[in-house]
Amino acid sequence: MNQGSDGAEEDDLPRYISAHEVAERAGVSRSAVSRTFTHGASVSKATREKVMKAAEELGYQVNDLARGLLANRSQLVGMIASDPETPFRTLQISALSRQLVERGRVPVLIPTDTSETASQASHATLLRYRAEATIVLSGMPSKAFIELAQRNGQPLIAVGRNEEGPDHVRVNNARAAETAVQVFAARGMRRIGLVTSHVGSPNLIERERAYIQRAGELGLEIIVERADRTDYDGGYLAASSLLARAVEGAFCVNDLMAFGLIDYARNVLGVSVPNDLSVIGFDDVPEARWGAYRLTTFQQDADRLASEIIRVLEARLRDPGAPSIVSQLDLPLIFRNTVKPLENGRTIG
């Protein structure tokens, strides 16, 4: 066996059927093969049939990556996400990846943290590989990150952000937070809590501001507890301080924090949910439906969100010079078992 320059045995290297081999098998020119696999190109029916038959016999597949790079259209779409292991982020990445593939795109996931260095490195990687667009699924990007995309002319879709420049897909955090306050107020609650974190992403800030403002308008007492992280442990730790203040209802900025709060309330303090404490979450991850929680929560539908992201992406690619697109989705409140019913049987959503 022969060895390549890097010491690898050539027989061990992957070998792909070439367009030249298809041309030889079909008895046509190399350019005829290229035209056959180019949408809209002129090629006779007889030639197309011969080429397709040869390609099937040989197992030939078009090298879309090489073709895309030559045309300056790689079909690659980058997805930058922090905390990809969390339940909602996992659903989001899965739904978006699936829908991108269905439309002939090649999704590339780059996990990152929230640091400036990491986000810059992530985007630089996508620029080097000539990704057609970048979709940011986290509490990023920074201003410098956005400027890098704009200097290179790469479309950037920010999910859950509010900077000027890129296209945006958002959820209506303010309306959800206001609805949570109204649900508690309608049940006669006067002291309510908010469980959030120090992360300070735009989504969390919007929920907190709207919640506090609406509670103030209704004359309710607000107690805010912040954990270091927006996860189950954060909710569990925040619960000890929050519940010592005898709150009647608590809005958690995501379901994971709500799960931690509920478990602490029930298992450590013996508090009844929802009789003594009503809890509302945010996301509606699959675990929210589990019998241990049956959590009342705002539903972020990952498939619906992915469809909207792709709608914005396709609109941007059709018209690169159009003004920035801003899309906002309202979220339904799914009532389950963690909010006590109204005395008259009505619900407020």
**Residue-level pLDDT at 71:** 47
- Quick: pLDDT tens for 118-162: 666 666 666 666 778 888 887 655 566 666 666 667 788 989 887
Q: Hunting for tokens 């030889």 — which residue is that? A: 24
Output the six-digit token pair for 171: 């959820």
**Residue-level pLDDT at 306:** 96
**Residue-level pLDDT at 345:** 57
The CATH class for the domain spanning 173-300 reads: alpha beta
What is the SS3 assignment for 167?
strand
Q: Count Cβ neighbours within 10 Å for each residue of 58-97 and write b for 16 or more, e otherwise.
A: eebeeeeeeebeeeeebbbbbbbbbbbebbbbbbbbebbb
Same CATH topology for 10-62 and 173-300: the answer is no
- Alpha-carbon span 77 to 72, nearest angstrom: 13
- Alpha-carbon span 106 to 113, nearest angstrom: 23
Q: With contact defined as beta carbons under 8 Å apart, do 249 and 279 qualify?
A: yes
Mean pLDDT of all residues in the chain?
85
Residue 163 has pLDDT above 80, yes or no: no
- Confidence category of residue 110, pLDDT binned at 50, 70, 90: confident
Q: Count Cβ neighbours within 10 Å for each residue of 134-152 and write b for 16 or more, e otherwise.
A: bbbbbbbbeeebbebbeee
**Domain residue extents for the chain:** 10-62, 76-171+302-329, 173-300
pTM over 0.95: no
- Alpha-carbon span 295 to 278, nearest angstrom: 10
**Residue-level pLDDT at 165:** 80
27-31, 122-126, 137-141, 285-289: which is most confident: 285-289
- Alpha-carbon span 341 to 335, nearest angstrom: 10
42 vs 175, higher pLDDT? 175
Superfamily of domain 76-171+302-329, CATH level 4: Response regulator (3.40.50.2300)
- Confidence category of residue 15, pLDDT binned at 50, 70, 90: low
CATH for 10-62, options being 3.30.465.10, 1.20.1050.10, 1.10.10.10, 1.10.260.40: 1.10.260.40
Give the least confident one: 143-152, 171-180, 231-240, 276-285: 143-152
Residue 73 has pLDDT above 80, yes or no: no
Residue 115 has pLDDT above 70, yes or no: no
Residue 98 has pLDDT above 80, yes or no: yes
- Quick: pLDDT tens for 173-196: 999 999 999 999 999 999 999 999
Residue 14 has pLDDT above 60, yes or no: no
- Alpha-carbon span 167 to 65, nearest angstrom: 26
